[in-house]
């Protein structure tokens, strides 16, 4: 079986899905770029450089894949260019953004922006989880730059491919026997220990909307605490620690609405998974979120708690079954695998023509 080098920063649900997809067609060599503090970046780069000189060249890689542009892609992509191995960068969100107001996105930093652009110049090939990450007009938060996406910041050669995320509707589905509570909202936001994450995920808006909608309940999954200045929390809001998949599905199944009020996302998995569990989606007008929701829920046009509260108070309930049908029919795991492998096949063929 052919070998692929897969470079990433940390092992999480996103990278594990990539690895599972690749392992169906390749023997995957993992390259985790692990570091602590800024000095750790240099140590990690040196480790990659050493591997490129003495380890990787012994392997017959047919493809090099980098998940998110960044420091971790630098040496693998240089290695690919030097040895004429086809390569691709999978762009997921942060590597296509510049939100200096919350210190988010690769392009908020001049150095990291230059490194990201070098990733794209070295590879040329990029797989995007949604078209908006190539380029988009951004108006959700008027305090942030109004142009986002890789091509808003990188003007060099780029061959983009779009491959949407995919999901298993046989796994993500409403739980039998679980009662769906009316006027209940849920958000799975991960670690909310920093103000950057709270604001980026739109949790600060949810906290304010909760105070405006005292007859609703709000559940935040992924963290048991928020930065101190957000306390006291609204009485109708509950923090829940990280949940394993089966418990998260139960939580989705017991809530009426799923809130995705992020300031920036690519193609958020939790939103799609909640929709498969028949949650009615309410999301911000950001990147792939309106595309995912389509006509099955509600889109908030501006970053404002009043806009979210107005949707909830209107009680304009939509059918959660339509939300499930949207994801089940349009974003299957099989579709993602086929689209991704089609893109890889095209990249490999184009590389062979050049060399």
Tens digit of pLDDT at every position of the chain (355 positions): 789 999 998 888 888 888 888 998 899 999 998 887 777 888 989 999 999 998 898 888 999 999 999 999 999 999 999 999 999 999 989 999 999 999 999 999 999 999 999 999 999 999 999 999 999 999 999 999 999 999 999 999 999 999 999 999 999 999 998 999 999 999 998 888 889 899 999 999 999 999 999 999 999 999 899 999 999 999 999 999 999 999 999 999 999 999 999 999 999 999 999 999 999 999 999 999 999 999 999 999 999 999 999 999 886 667 899 999 999 999 999 999 999 999 999 998 777 666 5
Cα 106 to Cα 15: distance, rounded to the nearest angstrom: 18
pLDDT of residue 318: 75
pLDDT of residue 134: 97
Alpha helices in 145-214 (DSSP H): 195-200, 203-212
Same topology between domain 3-166+333-354 and domain 181-330? yes
pLDDT of residue 163: 95
pLDDT of residue 271: 97
Cα 190 to Cα 77: distance, rounded to the nearest angstrom: 30
pLDDT of residue 39: 79
Alpha helices in 65-184 (DSSP H): 71-82, 110-123
Contact (CB, 8 A) for 89 and 126: yes
Contact (CB, 8 A) for 170 and 276: no
Q: Which residues contact 40 (CB under 8 A, 6 or more apart)?
A: 34
Whether a cis peptide bond, with omega within 30° of 0, leads into 232 is yes
Closest CA relative to residue 7, chosen from 29, 39, 24, 40? 29
Q: CA angle, corner 13, sides to 9 and 17, nearest 5? A: 95
Q: 309 forms bridges with which residues in the sheet?
A: none
Domain coordinates in residue numbering, the chain: 3-166+333-354, 181-330
C-alpha dist (Å) from residue 128 to 75, 95, 174: 21, 10, 29
Position of tokens 């940390």?
10
pLDDT of residue 352: 66
3-166+333-354 has CATH 1.10.3720.10 classification: no
pLDDT of residue 27: 93
pLDDT of residue 14: 86
Q: CA angle, corner 179, sides to 173 and 181, nearest 5? A: 105
What is the CATH number assigned to the segment(s) 181-330?
3.40.50.2000
C-alpha dist (Å) from residue 220 to 36, 153, 207, 316: 28, 34, 10, 23
Cα 91 to Cα 79: distance, rounded to the nearest angstrom: 20
């Amino acid at each position: 079986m052919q070998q692929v080098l897969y470079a990433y920063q940390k092992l999480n649900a996103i990278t594990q899905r990539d690895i599972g997809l690749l392992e169906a067609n390749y023997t995957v060599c993992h390259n985790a770029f692990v570091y602590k503090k800024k000095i750790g970046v240099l140590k990690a780069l040196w480790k990659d450089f050493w591997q490129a000189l003495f380890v990787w060249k012994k392997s017959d890689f047919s493809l090099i894949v980098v998940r998110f542009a960044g420091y971790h892609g630098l040496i693998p992509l240089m290695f690919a260019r030097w040895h004429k191995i086809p390569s691709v960068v999978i762009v997921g969100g942060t590597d296509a953004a510049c939100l200096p107001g919350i210190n988010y996105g690769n392009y908020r930093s001049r150095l990291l922006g230059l490194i990201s652009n070098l990733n794209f110049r070295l590879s040329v090939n990029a797989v995007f989880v949604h078209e908006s990450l190539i380029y988009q007009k951004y108006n959700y938060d008027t305090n942030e730059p109004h142009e986002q996406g890789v091509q808003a910041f990188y003007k060099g050669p780029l061959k983009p491919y779009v491959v949407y995320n995919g999901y298993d509707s046989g796994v993500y589905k409403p739980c039998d026997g679980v009662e769906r509570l009316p006027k209940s909202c849920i958000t799975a936001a991960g670690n909310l220990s920093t103000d950057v994450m709270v604001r980026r995920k739109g949790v600060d808006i949810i906290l304010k909307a909760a105070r405006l909608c005292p007859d609703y309940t709000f559940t935040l999954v992924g963290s048991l605490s928020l930065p101190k200045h957000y306390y006291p929390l609204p009485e109708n809001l509950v923090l829940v620690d990280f949940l394993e998949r089966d418990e998260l599905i139960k939580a989705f199944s017991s809530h009426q609405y799923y809130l995705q009020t992020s300031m920036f996302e690519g193609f958020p998995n939790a939103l799609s998974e909640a929709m498969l569990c028949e949650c009615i989606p309410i999301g911000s007008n950001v990147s792939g979120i309106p595309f995912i929701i389509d006509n099955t829920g509600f889109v908030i046009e501006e970053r404002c708690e009043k806009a979210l509260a107005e949707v909830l108070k209107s009680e304009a309930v939509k059918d959660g079954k339509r939300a499930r049908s949207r994801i089940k029919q349009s974003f299957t795991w099989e579709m993602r695998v086929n689209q991704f492998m089609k893109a890889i096949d095209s990249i490999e063929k184009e590389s062979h023509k050049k060399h």
